[in-house]
Copies of this chain bind each other. A is one copy, B any other.
Amino acid sequence: MVDVGGVAIGGGTWVVIAGPCSVESREQLLDVARAVKQAGATLLRGGAYKPRTSPYDFHGLGVEALKLLKEARDLTGLPIVTEVMGVEDVDLVSEYADMLQVGARNMQNSPLLRRLAQSTRPVLLKRGPSATVKEWLLAAEYLLSGGNPNVVLCERGIKTFDSELRNTFDIAAIPLAKELSHLPVIADPSHGTGRRSVIPAMSRAAIAAGADGLMIEVHPCPERALSDGPQSLDLAAFASLMKEMERPSRPRAVPSP
């Protein structure tokens, strides 16, 4: 069980980390923070430093975003999860964030993992897009053996031949990682599928498979998002997802006598 700013991850209930892919402005962030809090989210996510495939893409507002995240926490009480991209940023990001995220591209960045092993902040370790479950657990071992016991894993989809969705969301990795370790596992159906319409079904599936929480991208206006628009839910869709998670499951067919 990992404590993140007062929220327990891995203790039998499941949490919801929600927020925008990137922090884009004060208004955007605070709107989302208020809305996800009201809908039932337990932590707030938001990218200040964004790893991107192209150097010409938006790379985040940096320290300005960190300050806005702090303001959002003050406003809503939600602990903050945000990504740290390099050894040189760990101290700064730790001043503002309650949980430090290691992105999928950095899962095997061993200098970064070694540095975070010495941090007092809990770490959310995303699975690399081509990492096996064992490679993922060995990456976690850099943190654990280096002295940081507060590690939460995050399944976010793997790269396969099937390009109809952004990634193949490997839900079986959730029970497998829990069987091979004792770490909590969060699921990110936003990156895991990249397609808004299947996020509710995959959120239910991940929790049914034993995930200790969900990480969901939410944006007030996904069409105008500077990153990950197609997989972001708007405020209403997120509220509706949270309600749908409470829906009882369909009944089994009754066999003939």
Contact = CB atoms under 8 A, between A and B. Distances in A.
A196 to B, nearest CB: 11
A230 to B, nearest CB: 14
Contacts of A159: 130, 161
A255 B205 contact: no
Interface string A196-215: 01100110111111100100
Interface of A: 6-8, 12-16, 37, 40-42, 51-56, 59, 77-78, 85-88, 105-106, 108-113, 128-130, 132-135, 138-139, 141-142, 145-146, 158-165, 168-176, 179, 192-193, 195, 197-198, 201-202, 204-210, 213, 245-246, 249-257
A13 B192 contact: no
B132 A55 contact: no
B169 A172 contact: yes
Contact of A205 (B86, B160, B162, B206): B206
A81 to B, nearest CB: 14
A256 B98 CA distance: 15
Contacts of A15: 252-253
B197 A204 contact: no
A130 B132 contact: no
A174 to B, nearest CB: 7
Contact of A7 (B129, B174, B197, B253): B253
Given A55-B145, A253-B8, A161 B164 contact: no
Contact of A198 (B175, B251, B253): B175
Nearest to A40: B255
Given A13-B253, A208-B249, A163 B53 contact: no
A110 B52 contact: yes
A223 B192 CA distance: 35
25 contacts: A7-B253, A12-B250, A13-B251, A13-B253, A16-B253, A42-B253, A54-B141, A55-B142, A56-B145, A85-B111, A86-B86, A86-B112, A129-B130, A132-B163, A133-B164, A161-B161, A171-B171, A172-B198, A175-B201, A175-B202, A179-B198, A201-B208, A201-B210, A204-B208, A207-B208
A164 B208 contact: no
Contacts of A51: 108, 110
A169 B170 CA distance: 7
Contacts of A41: 255
Contacts of A6: 256
